[in-house]
């Protein structure tokens, strides 16, 4: 199998997996965006996946992502920043990314909006931390509604929804239950606070079925798409 055939096979396999779970849950396959989690992947491989039809790339490390963008200036993709955000990095994130998935403080959202220089507003997702893990960023579920209202009022940014990276559960119904909390939170914010949230970034290689079943609109796939990292 040639490398281009390998890339096409990998992309087709993941898209078929998404399509199958969407069909099982009476959803359209195009209601779920595939984000290739491309950290530590080579420029050549990223180019090949783009050529094969991958439209969205997610990066965790800022300088690595900027280096890739400089080497691939005409790549027709949307760039998503999915790593933890430090205050002193917001300007570069705002200048180089279309979506930011890891917002967990009002200060960060304000800085991203003020430093964004493109014509269209920057798209923000609040990161939730359902398991209250110290090692992960994100806001507690109990604090997310209030933060959503505050961020939604910022000019220059559009709050689109929530991102979640929960602990792995042994049973799929347990995994679905934690993802359901994000969906219910989004519905609550829309119904009670008049927000217009429409995106849930949740689900990776090991749990995308549970995430899509509970309303995920973006899945972030790394190894199952690109293969093992160097």
- pLDDT score for 1: 60
For residue 142, give the 3-state DSSP assignment: helix
Q: Where in the sequence is the domain holding 139, given as residue range(s)?
A: 3-226
pLDDT in tens, the chain (230 residues): 667 789 999 999 999 999 999 999 999 999 999 999 999 999 999 999 999 999 999 999 999 999 999 999 999 999 999 988 999 999 999 999 999 999 999 999 999 999 988 888 999 999 999 998 888 889 999 999 999 999 999 999 999 999 999 998 989 999 999 999 999 999 999 999 999 999 999 999 999 999 999 999 999 999 999 987 76
Statement: the pTM of the whole predicted model exceeds 0.85: yes
Number of domains in the chain: 1
Per the structure block, which two tokens stand in for 206?
């090991």
Q: Could you tell me if 9 and 227 are in contact, meaning their C-beta atoms sit under 8 angstroms apart?
A: no
Q: What is the CATH number of the domain that holds 157?
A: 3.20.20.10
Radius of gyration of the chain (CA): 17
Q: Could you tell me if 147 and 140 are in contact, meaning their C-beta atoms sit under 8 angstroms apart?
A: no
d(CA 215, CA 187) in angstroms, rounded, equals 11
- pLDDT score for 178: 97
Q: Could you tell me if 201 and 159 are in contact, meaning their C-beta atoms sit under 8 angstroms apart?
A: no
- pLDDT score for 230: 65
Q: Could you tell me if 226 and 41 are in contact, meaning their C-beta atoms sit under 8 angstroms apart?
A: yes
d(CA 132, CA 83) in angstroms, rounded, equals 17
How many DSSP H helices and E strands does the chain contain?
9, 8
57's enclosing H/E stretch is strand 56-59
Q: Could you tell me if 32 and 204 are in contact, meaning their C-beta atoms sit under 8 angstroms apart?
A: no
């Amino acid at each position: 199998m040639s490398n281009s055939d390998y890339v096409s096979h990998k992309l087709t396999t993941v898209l078929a997996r998404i399509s199958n779970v969407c069909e099982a849950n009476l959803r359209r396959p195009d209601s779920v965006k595939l984000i290739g989690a491309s950290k530590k992947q080579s420029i050549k491989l990223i180019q090949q996946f783009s050529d094969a039809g991958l439209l969205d790339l997610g990066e965790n490390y800022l300088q690595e992502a900027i280096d890739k963008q400089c080497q691939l200036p005409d790549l027709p993709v949307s760039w998503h920043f999915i790593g933890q955000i430090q205050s002193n990095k917001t300007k570069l994130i705002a200048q180089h990314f279309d979506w930011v998935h890891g917002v967990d403080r009002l200060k960060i959202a304000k800085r991203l909006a003020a430093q964004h220089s493109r014509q269209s507003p920057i798209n923000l997702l609040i990161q939730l931390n359902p398991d209250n893990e110290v090692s992960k960023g994100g806001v507690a579920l109990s604090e997310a509604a209030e933060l959503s209202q505050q961020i939604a009022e910022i000019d220059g940014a559009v709050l689109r929804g929530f991102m979640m990276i929960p602990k792995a559960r042994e049973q799929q119904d347990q995994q679905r239950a934690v993802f359901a909390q994000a969906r219910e939170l989004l519905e609550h914010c829309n119904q009670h606070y008049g927000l217009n949230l429409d995106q849930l970034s949740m689900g990776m290689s090991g749990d995308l079925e549970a995430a899509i079943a509970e309303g995920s609109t973006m899945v972030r796939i790394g190894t199952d798409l690109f293969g093992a990292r160097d």
